[in-house]
Amino acid sequence: MIDRIQQIVLITVFVSGYFIGTANSVLSAEVEKQSEWRAAAISVVITPEKSMWMSGYASRNKPSEGKVHDLYAKVLIIEDMRGQKVVIVTTDLIGITPALRDPIAARLESEFKIPSTALLMNASHTHCGPELREGKASRRGLGGDRGAEAREYTQKLSKKIVGAIGQALSKLEPVQLKYSYGRAGFSMNRRLPTAKGVSNSPHPQGPVDQRVPVLSVKRPDGSIVAALFGYACHNTTLSFYQFCGDYAGFAQEYLEADHPGMIALFMMGCGGDQNPYPRRTLDLAKQHGRALSNAVEVALSVRQPRLIHGPLGVAMDDVELEFVTPPSREELLRKQKQGNKYEKSHATRLLAQIEERGGIQTRYAFPLQVIQFGNDLTLTAICGETVVDYSLRLQKELKINSGAEEEEDPIIWVAGYSNHVFGYLPSLRVLKEGGYEGGGAMTYTSYPGPFTDSVEKRVISKIKELTKQARKASQ
């Protein structure tokens, strides 16, 4: 009798398990079928394993001395129902260089069959990260082969990011994409007009973009896979000799602590002429990080976020900019003898161009990128240290339905510091006003001088062209 009862129990358990398992499989298949998107996110530590020359300030005179917290590269892969993917990589670095991006883009195509145009790489522009630009590391380093250190770090970093992309591709799962935004008030325009020209000081009346756009990636059960958020402000609260992600690093740290299992990715906006105020202490960096994370929390708690539909459309192409007429050889020789140490170094680099190439370059091309999410979101990625004018202008001019309600138009999200950070990208206004962002910063590069007045027109025109292409591809 007992054996008979055991048989009945076993059969019942088996049958129940079978139907529950079948029901779960059917439910899983139904969720997969109904989801417009699949996505995954991965985070990897990129803190240098040894002391290195640091980036961001020409006045640095020694290598790094430990860390406040780790630096990260984070990968978010989004796939639409057609199987098209975009790969977004955010980094706690001063910038993205061709030496970093190109190998990743090549392996993306060869190993994963994803076009390089679908790769968006963004740098937080922390000034407390490693100097990965080989030329600058060589010039600034005092003792040791700092250029070789930067080259080795970049090569290892490329491989690490490719590995993270591979991991993320193996973890794609059904998700919903939702957009909302908050605001954070610590960014301020830093171009103060004075009788002697533009000064690098707080300018409360200057243009700013204090929006905090947030794209949340959520599973069907409501748990969050990732939150991609942005802000237009230099990561320059700090200037010491410890590795640190500055305010953006703390914001990501706080968000991930408050949402276990979620990957928080910071995407730098058009903050080329924006600074965090007040600044210069670790406590202030933490305060700004908390303010930014609070803005993200507000966005995540919005009752009716905008649901983002597909499919994806991607467009990417170079825009060619012109420099003003470069200085003559005689002018450079004079600066080499009479200028300050930065002007002398700049003149030496330009004279080397004359010797090696027969002249100084007069044009420069860099890539612009647009990622379109159906009719709902236009994500524009601009190279260089982009000033805020580009964000404010494009948010108005990339709308489709003039006079329509805001929610009927696509959301416009403009990121600077993407794909190749070569130096400052001024607007026409900033160019004419002059100052550091208008052309003065060129002294610290290998470029001859300011761009011509066509700079903003060329960039905006190319972005509008790419936006049309991306929107057409997303239909």
Digit-coded pLDDT (tens) for 210-255: 999 999 999 999 999 999 999 999 999 999 999 999 999 999 999 9
438 pLDDT above the threshold of 50 = yes
Lowest mean pLDDT, pick from 25-34, 65-74, 460-469: 25-34
Strand 385-386, strand 411-415: pairing:
unpaired
User: What pLDDT score was predicted for residue 12?
Assistant: 44
Residues in CB range of 441: below 8 A, 6 or more apart: 385, 423, 424
Return the bridge partners of 235, or none.
126
Lowest mean pLDDT, pick from 350-359, 376-385, 425-434: 350-359
CA distance 191 to 437: 9
User: What pLDDT score was predicted for residue 30?
Assistant: 46
**In the chain, pLDDT over 70 holds for what percent of residues?**
90
Angle, helices 341-357 vs 329-338, to 10°: value is 150
Q: Is the peptide bond before 326 cis (omega within 30 degrees of 0)?
A: no
Cβ 363 vs Cβ 323: under 8 Å: yes
DSSP state of 328: P
More confident position, 5 or 451: 451
User: What pLDDT score was predicted for residue 7?
Assistant: 52
18 pLDDT above the threshold of 80 = no
413 pLDDT above the threshold of 80 = yes
User: What pLDDT score was predicted for residue 409?
Assistant: 84
User: What pLDDT score was predicted for residue 10?
Assistant: 43
CA distance 271 to 277: 13
CA distance 279 to 14: 65
User: What pLDDT score was predicted for residue 28?
Assistant: 47
126 pLDDT above the threshold of 90 = yes
User: What pLDDT score was predicted for residue 140?
Assistant: 63
Summary mean pLDDT of the chain: 91
What's the pLDDT tens digit per position in 51-106? Answer: 999 998 888 889 999 999 999 999 999 999 999 999 999 999 999 999 999 999 99
Return the bridge partners of 217, or none.
177, 226
User: What pLDDT score was predicted for residue 336?
Assistant: 87
- Give the residue from 461, 452, 445 showing the smallest Cα distance to 431: 452
pLDDT tier at 407 (50, 70, 90 boundaries)?
low
